[in-house]
Every structure is written in C-alpha cells, then in structure tokens.
Amino acid sequence: MSGPAPTCAIVGGGLGGLVTYTTLRHGGLEPGQIEVFGTDPDPASVFRAHAAAIKQRHMRSESNGHCFARSFPGLAVRSALRRPSVRPLVDSVRDRYRPTVEEFLAHVAEVRAESGWDESFRRRRIERVRAVDGGFALDDEGVFSHVMIVPGHPGLAYPPGLEDDPRVVHAYQRHDYADEVAVVGAGMAAATEWLNALTAGASVVSVRRREPARRPLNVERRYFTKRGLAGYWRTDPEERIALLRSFVAPSYPPGPDWDEPLAHAISEGRFRVEPELNGAPQVICATGFRRGFQADPLLTDLVRAHGLETAEGWIVLAPDATVPGLTDDRRALALAGVSAQWAHPGADTLVGMKYAARGLLRRVRRWHTR
C-alpha cells in the first residue's frame, strides 16, 4: 500500500486476533499500522490450556484450519512436504486430515514469529469501544479508523446448580480422574473425556438427555462455500436463529477411533448413559462455553451504548461481519470469532475468522483508495 496509512486495531489477542493480524499484514499493512490489544502475547495460550486439560491430540479442523492469510497451501500440504509423505494429501482429499495439536501449536508459533505480531501487541484489556468522529475510541488508547473485535468465548458454562458443587471440575480445567466419573455433555469435549477417563481406568457415566449428532465439523461443510453462505444470508431472522441453534447442538466425529473404545467399555460394564447425575464422586462438565453477547461485558456495553440491533444472543451484522450503523466509507467496526456468527455460521473456526478478517481488509483498502 502507498499513501497515508489507516490506523487499525484488533481487540483480542487470541487465535482470531492472530488470523486478523496476518490477513492485514498480507494485505500490505506494516506492524506499526496495527495495534493488537490482549492479555497474553501468546495467541495460543487459551487454546493450549484447554487442549491440555482434555488431553486433546488432534484438531477437529482440517487442512484449511490454519492462521496463514492465504488458504492454500494448507497444513496438509506442509505436512506432506515435511515428512515427506503423500498420506496427508490423500487424507485431505477425503476430508479426513486432522493435524495434531502439537503440529498446530508449532504452526501458530511460526506465524507469530514471522508476522511481526509481538511488535504490534499491547498488553491491555480493552473495556469500552465508542464510535467517535474519525473512527472508534478504545478506552484511553486513542482513536482507530478500523477496528476488529474478537474477544473469544466469554467463559466456561456450567449446568444450573453445579458450578459450586465440590465434585465438579470443568473439562477445560486441569484435572485427573476418579475411579468413577460422570461426564455431563455430549459434544466433542465430552467424547474426548469419555475416552480419557476410560484410558485412566475409570468407569464412566455419560449424563445426557439426547443423543449427539455424529458429524466431522460443528457446522455443515456447505456453509464454508460461497453458495452455502449466499443461502445462509438469504434466511430471515427466525430461520437463521434456528440454524445457529442447530450448529451448537452436541456433536462429535464418526469413526472407529471413538466407537471401538466405547463398545469395549460397554461390554466390560464401564460405560453407560444416564439422563441425570448419580452419586459419582467426580463430575466433569464438558458443557463448553457461555453463549450470547450478554455474557461478554465489552459486547454488552457496545450494544447498549450504540443501540445495536440484536437477535436473541447474536449481534446483527452485515454479511462481511461489520456492524451496520457504525460502519461507512470512513470507518469500519467488525466482529470475528463466535460473536460474528450472524455473518458466518462457522465464525468461531479459523476459516470463519479469516472470512471476517478479509472483510475488514476490503474496508481498509477502500478507505485507503477513496
């Protein structure tokens, strides 16, 4: 880019912040033109802690679940070149490639080191964003013409009445396993905890009231295509809310890696399903994260201060993930991550985060050339 540079800010120092940063850098912005506000300079710190807690070994995302600005080449191609082996490429074509968590974390460290991230990072939690003349004021950190808010998940979710139960630990907190374990939930984290506890020698009770869906990804694959997204944007508010609710329903991937250990445990009498908690000495809540903008103080304040349109727990966004009414040809405010699901149902995936980041980059470029 040439000429006067826009001033961009990223509120959130996690993986979504890194994806936004690399996208803006790839689009021509220099580290000095971007400020990243977060509480930890390591963009993978939260993910690393959660993955370690549930002993996650492989990513649920596929080859395109990476932090590079360009979609291709993905992690499968890079893995094939590194080994060398064509197996990652074959698995990727069959939608079966899953990088290991170790490989993904090494990738994040590489992107962080090469992108200039640390040069732009500011250790600061932003508590208020306000639209002002010339852009958006972030607390007392100045005014920025283009801002991406990517706060991540607002906190761990517990079923009512269990948060203060002394038997309870959340799946995303470090823990060991008792001889008998009740796992509340039926999604990916719950399925991972079933196997972890069984491997540790425990007997497991899966506490759930409905059967989980079996699908490779949380969101149907078609919504990661232009045609699928176009259909999503044509939905009315009620249809869109119903779709988004369906995507947060419990699910985990199909396949023998899950089914065979569970079948063996059932035959031994070490795994069963119950609709309610029993007297298990340990209760693991594999119940994910709190949902809705109301659970995030920054987003709640933004909605109240500017009277933003909402639909139940979602902030209504334009298709490019910008906030209508606060975005024009002079400035842009966008959301990424789980808070941007109104624009993209897979917004909390790395692919969805990149989609929002590219939307902001287009706004920056238009501002620069007007």
What is the SS3 assignment for 285? strand
Give residue limits of the domains in the chain: 8-154+290-369, 168-212+250-285
The predicted pLDDT at position 2 comes to 46
pLDDT at 63 over 80: no
Q: Do domains 8-154+290-369 and 168-212+250-285 have the same CATH topology?
A: yes
Let me know if 307 is exposed, middle or buried by CB neighbors in 10 A (0-12, 13-18, 19+).
exposed
Q: How many Å apart are CA 96 and CA 100, to the nearest integer? A: 13
The predicted pLDDT at position 64 comes to 67
Instruction: Give helix 188-199 / helix 256-267 axis angle, nearest 10°.
Output: 50
Average pLDDT, the chain: 91
Strands 282-285 and 180-184: parallel
The pLDDT > 70 percentage for the chain reads 90
DSSP 4: S
| CATH topology for the 168-212+250-285 domain | FAD/NAD(P)-binding domain (3.50.50)
Look at 151-155, 321-325, 351-355, 365-369 and tell me which has the smallest mean pLDDT: 365-369
DSSP 86: S
Helix, strand, coil fractions of the chain, as percent rounded to 5? 40, 15, 45
Helix (H) or strand (E) holding 213: strand 213-214
Assess if CATH 3.40.50.11540 describes domain 8-154+290-369: no
Of 95 and 229, the one with more pLDDT: 229
**Span 28-51, average pLDDT:** 96
The pLDDT > 90 percentage for the chain reads 79
pLDDT at 1 over 50: no
Beta partners for residue 272, in sequence order: 205
User: 298 near 124, Cβ under 8 Å?
Assistant: no
The predicted pLDDT at position 237 comes to 96
Dihedral sign for Cα 187, 191, 196, 197, please: positive
Look at 2-11, 263-272, 341-350 and tell me which has the smallest mean pLDDT: 2-11
